[in-house]
Amino acid sequence: METVAAGWNEGDARRAADCFNDDAIYMEPPDKQMYHGRQALYQLFGGGKKQQSATHLSWHHLAFDAPSQIGFGEYTFATMNHQYHGVAVVKIASGKIASWREYQYRSDLSWQLFAGRGYF
């Protein structure tokens, strides 16, 4: 998860995409976005193009259940003039991300203000 963030933060689409299996699924339900395969993710993450604007992903909490190989992270992602707070749930297979499902909300609030009384 930290390598995905580092790849996005450095504008290195290959580094981020290489964290995913060849046939990985990346989605935001219910059908907001759906990508299939590492090559599609490489293109989504910027491909070989020079990044037009800075992006930044920061994880607030990460957790992983080893027996099920399922993890999640709460995050803030900022790109261009937009900021999102959300949760990504991942399934790991063969040491790479096989499935990524995210739920996110656009907000200009800081993470602390966004989380409000539930902040920890």
CA dist., res. 44 & res. 73, Å (int): 20
Q: Rounded to whole angstroms, what are the CA distances from 101 to 26, 32, 50, 112?
A: 6, 11, 26, 23
3-state secondary structure of 119: coil
pLDDT for the residue numbered 79: 87
Instruction: Convert the pLDDT of each residue in 83-120 to its tens digit.
Output: 999 999 999 999 999 999 999 999 999 999 999 999 99
Considering the entire predicted model, what is its pTM?
Answer: 0.91
In the chain, where are the structural domains located? 2-118
As assigned by CATH, the class of the 2-118 domain is: alpha beta
Question: Which two structure tokens, joined as six digits, stand for 17?
Answer: 């995409």
